[in-house]
């Protein structure tokens, strides 16, 4: 397997001096040959599922073999993924604006949602499942070349929705953002982070007992495509490589990725200490000194 050293980290030690990267770790090319990788999510065993939206497929990186194989194709042009506490894979399905639940064993698909108030979603993008099984998901509008007859969004706003566990209709959780994209919550289910990529900011919200969101608080002056959290409370944002902030919004450093765009990031692997990075046509890994947050992967 080809390994890529981190020359930018070596050349600019201040970029990573405080990052929880395992000593001597190298950015490793785990898999390539796709068109645009997105949505990594780890199951309870550490296997990582991710999407290749232009190729309409969901891929699986195996914790046992270290190899990637096709999991599902066609896959509704899936984008963001996340696992429920029960082990079901939730997919933001962009082709027809849906939210799916997938059984990893049988690959059976259950359509959870297909719109709001009788209108198509803009395009569900990223999803986070809270400890109780409720789902917060972003719905920005990005016009896709495979849509026919959809030049404008049917929804009047680009919102964040919440779907209570077992419910058939979502509620609006946030509708004041310009273009919400990445989303992740903490393991205790009390805090939610949402990246407004349209305004170049990421916000933090307190989650109420009724699952409503409190007043938005500016976390950092940076937007993000996808995001994840580690067990120390550090937040990982994507775009130009990976940028890491501590729990107080202080920038710890950057992880350069040799691609034009870094779309998303998640922890996986046997010890949940491997950072998986989806960037353009590739999947990269980097060994870290900290585990991913239990609120950001498929562990119970």
- pLDDT score for 60: 98
pLDDT category at 3 given cuts 50, 70, 90 is very low
Answer whether 113's CB lies under 8 Å from 163's CB: yes
Mean pLDDT of 145-159: 87
Q: Residue 230's closest CA among 197, 204, 267?
A: 267
Answer whether 81's CB lies under 8 Å from 93's CB: no
Mean pLDDT of 119-134: 96
- pLDDT score for 213: 97
pLDDT category at 151 given cuts 50, 70, 90 is confident
Q: Residue 293's closest CA among 244, 234, 231?
A: 231
Number of residues that this document lists for the chain: 300
pLDDT category at 149 given cuts 50, 70, 90 is confident
pLDDT category at 34 given cuts 50, 70, 90 is very high
Answer whether 256's CB lies under 8 Å from 249's CB: no
Distance CA 123, CA 250 (A): 32
Q: Residue 47's closest CA among 56, 36, 58?
A: 58
Lowest pLDDT segment from 52-56, 152-156, 283-287: 152-156
Mean pLDDT of 78-88: 96
Q: What is the 3-state secondary structure (H, E, C) of 14-45?
A: HHCCCCCECCCCCEEEEEECCCCEEEEEECCC
Answer whether 58's CB lies under 8 Å from 107's CB: no
Q: Which residue's entry shows tokens 């996808």?
A: 226
Q: Residue 80's closest CA among 57, 44, 51, 109?
A: 51
Other CB atoms within 10 A of residue 189 CB: 16
- pLDDT score for 204: 98
- pLDDT score for 53: 94
pLDDT category at 67 given cuts 50, 70, 90 is very high
Percent of the chain with pLDDT over 70: 94
Secondary structure element (H or E) that encloses residue 203, with its range: strand 201-206
Q: How far is CA 141 from CA 137, 155, 280, in A?
A: 13, 9, 20
Answer whether 93's CB lies under 8 Å from 124's CB: yes
Give DSSP secondary structure letters for 225-294.
SSEEEBTT--EEEEESEEEEE-TTS-EEEEE--SSS---EEEEESTTS-EEEEEETTEEEEEEBSSPBPG
3-state secondary structure of 12: coil
- pLDDT score for 17: 60
Enter the DSSP assignment of 175.
Answer: -
Superfamily designation of domain 3-296: TolB, C-terminal domain (2.120.10.30)
pLDDT category at 298 given cuts 50, 70, 90 is confident
- pLDDT score for 11: 46
pTM exceeds 0.85: yes
Mean pLDDT of 250-272: 95
Q: How far is CA 144 from CA 148, 182, 200, in A?
A: 9, 18, 22
- pLDDT score for 8: 47
Model confidence pLDDT, tens digit, residues 89-116 = 999 999 999 999 999 999 999 999 999 9
């Amino acid at each position: 397997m080809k390994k890529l050293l981190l020359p930018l980290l070596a050349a600019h030690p201040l970029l990573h001096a405080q990052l929880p990267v395992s000593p001597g770790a190298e950015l490793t090319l785990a898999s390539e040959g796709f068109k645009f990788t997105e949505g990594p999510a780890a199951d309870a065993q550490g296997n990582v599922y991710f999407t290749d939206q232009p190729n309409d497929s969901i891929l699986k990186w195996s914790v046992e073999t270290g190899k990637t194989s096709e999991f599902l194709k066609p896959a509704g042009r899936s984008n963001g993924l996340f696992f429920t506490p029960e082990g079901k894979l939730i997919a933001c399905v962009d082709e027809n604006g849906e939210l799916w639940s997938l059984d990893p064993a049988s690959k059976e698909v259950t359509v959870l949602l297909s719109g709001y108030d009788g209108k198509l979603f803009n395009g569900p993008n990223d999803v986070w499942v809270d400890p109780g099984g409720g789902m917060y998901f972003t719905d920005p509008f990005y016009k896709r070349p495979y849509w026919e007859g959809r030049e404008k969004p049917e929804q009047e706003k680009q919102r964040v929705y919440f779907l209570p566990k077992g419910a058939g209709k979502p509620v609006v959780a946030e509708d004041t953002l310009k273009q919400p994209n990445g989303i992740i919550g903490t393991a205790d289910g009390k805090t939610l982070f949402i990246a407004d990529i349209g305004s170049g900011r990421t916000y933090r919200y307190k989650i109420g007992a009724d699952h409503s969101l409190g007043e938005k608080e500016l976390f950092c002056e940076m937007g993000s495509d996808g995001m994840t959290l580690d067990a120390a409370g550090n937040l990982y944002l994507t775009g130009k490589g990976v940028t890491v902030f501590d729990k107080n919004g202080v920038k710890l450093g950057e992880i350069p990725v040799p691609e034009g765009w870094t779309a998303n990031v998640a922890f996986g692997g046997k010890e949940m200490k491997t950072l998986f990075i989806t960037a353009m046509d590739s999947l990269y890994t980097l060994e870290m000194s900290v585990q991913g947050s239990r609120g950001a992967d498929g562990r119970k």
